[in-house]
Amino acid sequence: MTHYLYNMTTREVLLSPENECQAALFVCQCINNKWFDVALDLLRRRPELVFAKSRSRRNAVSVLSCQPSAFPSGSRFSFWQRWIYSCLKVKGPKPLSSEDDVHINIYEPQDQKKKKNFMTQGIEQIYDLKATHIYAHELLLLMSKTIAASDVAQFDQSSVHQAMLNAAQRGVTEFIVEVIKPNIDLLMVLDEERRNIFQIAVAHRQEKVFSLIYGLDAIKYPLIAYTDRDYNNMLHLAGQLSPQSQVKLQQISGAALQMQRELQWFK
């Protein structure tokens, strides 16, 4: 229904500067509901909406940074699911041909099921998940490119600093990787407790985010040695167990395995 209404809506309504707040809300809702194809199409036509904020002061960048399930790093697969995921071929979004071309070629799980009668339901779910990941990544690339080309005022409006902190806390490694490519200085962003993204990753037990530090050069040493507002370094944070970390630890069965998992943070 959303895709049908979007294709039937006059683009001038959403692209008009007078409706920027409503358009920002629409994009945020699309991302929240994982309608990444619709959000991507709209941001391609008006990239400035990356910076636009809704009445709740949220924009597309901040919302996407809170969506770990939109990317492969936030998905948990068994061996066979991972193998099937790697073998499936999913078409990505087509380039925007012109401003007059307002119809989007959408991916719709219900439509795809009619075309994949030979697949089992489990494979269909993996197919739909991979399609979601592909469109979300294309949306992230567009955001990163738009932020890199922004001026100072637009950059401040983009909320990219808070988005980096959100991504570190929730383990959205793809977001961090793509956003820092044009601006490595974003690794130095701090939260209200003066913790950098790697300290946040340790505190929230986000090992995939923390592993990014191994790919850095000399810049990683001051990040490792950095202390927060209470003079805690990474080892101190590894010794603390936040409520969010406890929830994640409980997903591991058995006290012995949980202890082994915690010890790995000190190693």
How does pLDDT run across 69-89, given as a tens digit for each residue? 999 998 888 888 889 888 888
Beta carbons of 212 and 171 less than 8 angstroms apart: no
Work out the average pLDDT over 171-184: 93
The residue count for the chain: 267
pLDDT confidence of residue 100: 46
Residue 127 neighbours by CB under 8 Å, 6+ apart: 88, 90, 112, 116, 119
pLDDT at 169 over 90: yes
| pLDDT band per the 50, 70, 90 thresholds, residue 123 | confident
pLDDT at 66 over 90: yes
Question: Where does the pLDDT of residue 173 fall: very low under 50, low under 70, confident under 90, or very high at 90 and above?
Answer: very high
Averaged pLDDT, 189-198: 93
Task: Catalogue all structural domains in the chain, each as residue range(s) with its CATH number.
Answer: 2-89+113-266 (1.25.40)
CA dihedral sign of residues 239, 245, 247, 251:
negative
Paired tokens of 32: 């929240």
Find, among 137, 196, 136, the residue nearest to 161 by Cα: 196
Residue 115 has pLDDT above 60, yes or no: no
148 compared with 266, residue with greater pLDDT: 148
The share of the chain scoring above pLDDT 90, in percent, equals 33
60, 158 in Cβ contact below 8 A? Answer: no
Q: Is the pLDDT of residue 104 over 60?
A: no
d(C-alpha 263, C-alpha 256), whole Å: 11
Mean pLDDT of 92-107: 56
